[in-house]
Amino acid sequence: METKQHNKKPYFMITSQLAPKLFACRQSTVLAEKIAKEYNTTLGKVNTTYSSDGEFQPAFEESVRGRRVFIIGSTFPNADNLMEMLLMLDAAKRASARHITAVMPYFGWARQDRKDQPRVAIGAKLVANLLQAGGATRIMTMDLHADQIQGFFEKPVDHLYASTIFMSYINDLKLDNLTIASPDMGGSKRAYAYSKHLMCDVVICYKQRKKANIIEHMELIGDVKGKNVILVDDMIDTGGTLAHAANLMMERGALSVRAICTHPILSGGAYEKIENSGLTELIVSDTIPLKKETSKIKVVSCAPLFADVMHKVQDNTSISGQFLM
């Protein structure tokens, strides 16, 4: 008996990857707009309602169902900035977003990464727990104060390094007799990464603190005489350490002292300290908006870096090849 064979057309499942959507927390709107422009898109619309007691509730004004969502916001104090990020994560989760990435250029409370005295909280771990409970499926941040904070998460963490954006600025300076310096022992790894790429010497500052933000004694490990020095650090808060280090280096015969700091917290009298210090200039990123502009502070945007990494996350490609550390 002859059987007939039917030529069946192969079945292909048609899938269309929805374009991701970007949203901004209020404190990082300017940076988020730059990132969106570099990403070649526009920010999604968020409507925030306020109660008379200060309570607020953000709401997405467009559908995020089935999409990858990037929520952009640095979580520097006050606590409303962190709370807004958590509320937006929860809103995205309840609106059936497929992937929710918390893009936190500056990860607040990162200095509380361990118990360094009795009866204190580990704030960085608490924030990690809150972000995951809020609905984040991925974290994207830059220059964490302590690399081990990545281990506080059970979700993937994309840890970006600002050396990528600062290196071109250093090269454009075309400085002779260049030396990279770390303002403390903890930042030596970062300083060595810069020095290896720039093929120059390293100087380390050894400091003893009387208490938080107050330095009792500082000493240099290395020679800066006749050198153009660039101090590198992950953040600048009150500016006391960098101002002290710059003045000490100038006293020891340095030709010039510059500083590169990723996160410009600049609290207290930091702006005045920088202006009155021996620093030629302070180069920072725009993870935290400046409170005011001064002649010594130069801003290099991190928006192109974040947009590039966000594209790679969307396309499931590696991001590790573009960083120094």
Helices (H) and strands (E) in the chain, counts: 8, 14
**264: three-class secondary structure by DSSP:** strand
Other C-beta atoms closer than 10 Å to the C-beta of 65 total: 9
Cβ atoms of 184 and 163 within 8 Å: the answer is: no
Q: Among residues 37, 125, 155, 207, which one is catalytic? A: 207
Q: Is 207 one of the catalytic residues?
A: yes
Greatest C-alpha distance within the chain: 103
CA distances from 303 to 56, 89, 189, 218 (A): 27, 21, 25, 35
CA distances from 222 to 164, 177, 182, 209 (A): 26, 14, 11, 20
Alpha-carbon torsion (117, 119, 122, 123), positive or negative? negative
Active site residues: 207
